Chain A
């Protein structure tokens, strides 16, 4: 079994190396065959491991020693339990589908092999991240997925927007990683190890320890650690105010928007916090922070999605908002619900993105929804799979998203820590908005009159099987994944993995009322979320199918609000002025004045000038006239004699 563990990450690595290093020799077909075969191997191994874990065989052990310094041993190792096994299956399944889809989407691209190399490398990195049994390797995977994301956003490197977006993504993530690394350093300082099991075991022991970061203000160590770690999660999982990179990441090819910027990588932060539940549980302050950040992201990013016209950007903002849901769940100590939503979201969001990609191919790389419409009859498979995903996203009972989202909303309702009221308001309101923007996308793209030009319309057709088959396969869990909510969220599935303090246990209260998925659906009919989402779908239908003249009028009436949303609250402008501009200005000042003027100009060259100047002065004495020297000698003798005599 342990060899199988190794196979899960290493197979995609081999695939990446084959496609990347040998790609130009073996050609595109063999490159994608190799990459797909390796990811398939990884999926099969993950499934076998998953079954094994279901039987109760968990594993925690090291592979090799990375470094020994002082009295600390840093190791690379695996922790295989319910949480990592679930993540492994989700990652390898979505990855495999995206690999297959890529054959169609990237067909004929000059960077075809490179693309396969990158997505296989991503799969390797993500596996290392989720399978890790220590903070160090987590950080390795964490940064590695960031690297691949950087490479893939900038995949079309001749586009100025793409190479701007990828640098922005990397740097914003680095801000998060900055906090994350300090968090890891704090863990090492207080626990003397980076091994999860040991840290979690010792964590209750430091609950009362305090640290004075600013003289006079003392904080709980555990709070500082958790907030620093969460800053990392904010970067990777694109939470406000570090969310700015995710919408821009849509510059990358659509398959990776689905794989990396929706289904897997961006959920790394959620996964991390869930993994660290034994730490986060100890700090109510950190949980409150998480709740509020999650709430803000959920609501405000969903609002932006409503005004976007680029089909990918709608889905991107939807991703931000859904990540907000997961974050809120973490803050409410409903870790299992967060992971469950992570899983269902991975499926329905992958379908939405891959479907959007399918539409984009059919539209000859046109992404503006205002130039679409009526695609339903041309692309039935894409339409129906996306429709299912939209239902799941809007939280219609029976579909996967309903179960996971409802669990989160109810958990927040039952939770009792500061900030929970605000978070509850956010998640509840967003149900309406989610349904609205999702179905706005469906109606604008697939229904109504075609608005594209005649040439595009002539060539409209369903995408090839390599594109539609992944859509159909992923549509299955999009419907059905939610049905397992009983054991996964309310049952004992995560019992030994996720730790929740009794006073935080909203999920347990919920679980007491849970009577099966049928009961949950019936119960939902009498609750607010159901009616909110129905209202959202109806509004979308009314505005974007029945009365298509209305959106324009509303836009004209609420100009300021519309502009604010359209400009994404001006956060990008603020950051580029304050951080990018400020840093550059500071750098220039330090360079021109500090280095060039002060150190080099004044001290270094100044010293040289001083030598020259002194020499010039002293040189005056060396006139070469004998009577000058004679006169000086006489004066000298006179002075010495005078001193000597008296």
Chain B
């Protein structure tokens, strides 16, 4: 049976081993080999994750595919893995994005190819580890480890200001996570010597420590999401990161923060969550409105999309703290959908950047005249970014707005302004970059997308449309887990 087969270990370690193998190919003489090994590894990584979905039992909220082995007996640290309806879709998303990123870097990355490709594979495995860990220390190790590859990707293959961006990214997120470790140690003491996350869920904690724990987690997760006002590392990181780095950052790494709220903050500190819900909702709404306005004024395409990511992730945190099924499931759907859409948006900017080596909106204009196929894809993703029904971008926002109005009309009112701002910043950018007469001689020279780029965008386009027209399979797997979580959160632990 699959339950005895260490599927999750395979999903975690297969990409990491392939990553090490890619490193072993060494110098750029072996670049083609490194690319092919990476592609094979990433595709295999996705294929081994498929049984996770097909054998998943969506009728139970219990952890599935569980593996539990002793790691450090002295401190009761275990190699404890398992997934439920919240983590499983995120693992699939991660495994799905990795091959795309490898292909996206196929031609563009010509220096230190093996290291670049290897870093992405290793990161993919680490991120799977984060989502699958049921032991706090194991989680923490994976959590912090995930910083290293991204730090290197930005710092080595990034743009001119890459060192500032990489250090900002690293320090911001590292400082956020340190308090989380303290929270784990506190919980270890309180629980009588357990690092099991599931044990923490059942732990009775008075309100004041709950609030402290909540705040400790909040710093770690809010930075990752990122929530307003700790979001300023993201635009810098995105702008400097290579295309593949931006894609993984937006599509995957931001979700670690969202996942953290669902796995730690809500179930471990439910009373504090309720107590601080208004504040969390306010911060999320500020992210939606304030960031939406800022995104409008960006002159750099990547910065614009980065800010739009922050606004979209605002829906995720908003959904969590509504404490109803619409909100939490909507937030989950928003995370998955944002993975496809923001990934696709960054790929589109990457396509342009590879040709003109500029991210400035002002350097473009009339691209459609030269790149009609690309423009059609970009239009689809822009509309998805603006939350058009029929694309996956609509589903999550719709569900969260429906959930918000049940709590307070004005929450929904502010959240729904994204309908206007989201469309405004996305379409204004699209208009200035794509429409119009050919703006300058550089645009005149543009060539439409290659087959490789076409394949990448087409795959994402299919996902965006599929989950827009038929999101049912996506929410189906999370129902039981979300319902269980809602019941859990509604019971006081005082």
Contact = CB atoms under 8 A, between A and B. Distances in A.
A177 B422 CA distance: 13
B261 interface: no
Contact of B325 (A69, A147, A164): A69
Nearest to A585: B297
Nearest to B233: A604
A542 B424 CA distance: 47
B416 A182 contact: yes
A577 interface: no
B257 interface: no
Contacts of A189: 402, 405-406
A66 B405 contact: no
B297 A587 contact: yes
Interface in B413-441: 413, 416-417, 419-420, 423-424, 427-428, 431, 434-437
B435 A154 contact: yes
A171 B420 contact: yes
A68 B476 contact: yes
B232 A595 contact: yes
Contact of B419 (A160, A178, A599): A178
Interface residues of B, number: 58
Contacts of A584: 296-297
Interface stretch (A138-146, A334-342, A368-376, A466-474): A138-146
Main SS of chain A's interface residues? helix
B8 interface: no
Contacts of A143: 388-390, 394
A60 interface: no
A583 interface: yes
B431 A163 contact: yes
A157 B427 CA distance: 13
A604 B232 contact: yes
Nearest to B409: A213
B376 to A, nearest CB: 8
A396 B410 CA distance: 49
A175 interface: yes
A158 B470 contact: no
Nearest to A213: B409
Contact of B390 (A72, A140, A181, A182): A140
Interface in B187-221: none
Contacts of A174: 419-420, 423-424
Nearest to B434: A157
A174 B424 CA distance: 9
B401 interface: yes
B227 interface: no
A631 interface: no
B168 A604 contact: yes
A186 interface: yes
Given A67-B471, A69-B399, A182 B405 contact: yes
A147 B383 contact: yes
Contacts, number: 134
B395 interface: yes
A258 B380 CA distance: 26
Contact of A65 (B297, B330, B390, B472): B472
A70 interface: yes
Contacts of B402: 185, 188-189
B329 interface: yes
Nearest to A160: B436
Contacts of B420: 171, 174-175, 178
A5 B293 CA distance: 43
A588 interface: yes
B273 interface: no
Contact of B423 (A69, A170, A186, A587): A170
Contact of B326 (A70, A140, A586, A604): A70
A189 B437 CA distance: 47
Contacts of A160: 436
A66 B472 contact: yes
A610 to B, nearest CB: 13
Interface in B328-343: 329-330
Contacts of A72: 326
A466 B431 CA distance: 34
B424 A171 contact: yes
Contacts of A163: 431, 435-436
A185 B412 contact: yes
A504 to B, nearest CB: 28
A69 B329 CA distance: 7
B293 to A, nearest CB: 4
B229 interface: yes
A600 interface: yes
Nearest to B379: A151
A437 B419 CA distance: 37
B88 interface: no
B389 to A, nearest CB: 4
B186 interface: no
A233 to B, nearest CB: 16
Contacts of B479: 68-69
A150 B298 CA distance: 23
A157 B428 contact: no
A527 to B, nearest CB: 45
A591 interface: yes
B5 to A, nearest CB: 31
A1 interface: no
B226 to A, nearest CB: 11
Given A70-B324, A167-B427, A595-B294, A139 B389 contact: yes
Contact of B232 (A142, A147, A600): A600
A590 interface: yes
Chain A CB within 10 A, most for which of B395, B401, B402, B427 = B402
Given A64-B470, A171-B420, A584-B297, A158 B366 contact: yes
Nearest to B330: A69
Contacts of A588: 297
Interface in B438-494: 469-472, 475-476, 479
Contacts of B389: 139-140, 142-144
B369 interface: yes
B368 interface: yes
B290 A590 contact: yes
Contacts of B329: 69-70
Contacts of A213: 409-410
A164 B430 CA distance: 12
Contact of A69 (B229, B326, B369, B427): B326
A147 B390 CA distance: 11
A594 interface: yes
A167 B428 contact: yes
A211 interface: yes
Given A69-B329, A587-B296, A590-B293, A181 B416 contact: yes
A182 B330 CA distance: 16
Contacts of B290: 590, 594
* The 10 residue pairs across chains A and B that have the minimum distance between CB atoms: A70-B325, A587-B293, A587-B297, A185-B405, A163-B435, A591-B294, A140-B389, A587-B296, A157-B435, A158-B437
16 contacts: A64-B470, A67-B395, A67-B475, A69-B399, A157-B368, A157-B434, A158-B369, A181-B398, A182-B409, A189-B402, A189-B406, A583-B424, A584-B296, A587-B295, A590-B293, A600-B232
Interface of A: 64-72, 139-140, 142-144, 147, 150-151, 154, 157-158, 160, 163-164, 167, 170-171, 174-175, 177-178, 181-182, 185-186, 188-189, 211, 213, 583-584, 586-588, 590-591, 594-595, 599-600, 603-604
Given A67-B472, A185-B412, 18 more contacts: A70-B324, A70-B325, A143-B390, A147-B383, A157-B368, A157-B436, A158-B366, A170-B423, A171-B420, A171-B424, A178-B416, A178-B420, A185-B402, A185-B416, A211-B409, A583-B424, A591-B297, A595-B232
Interface of B: 168, 172, 229, 232-233, 290, 293-298, 324-326, 329-330, 366, 368-369, 379, 383, 388-390, 394-395, 398-399, 401-402, 404-406, 409-410, 412-413, 416-417, 419-420, 423-424, 427-428, 431, 434-437, 469-472, 475-476, 479
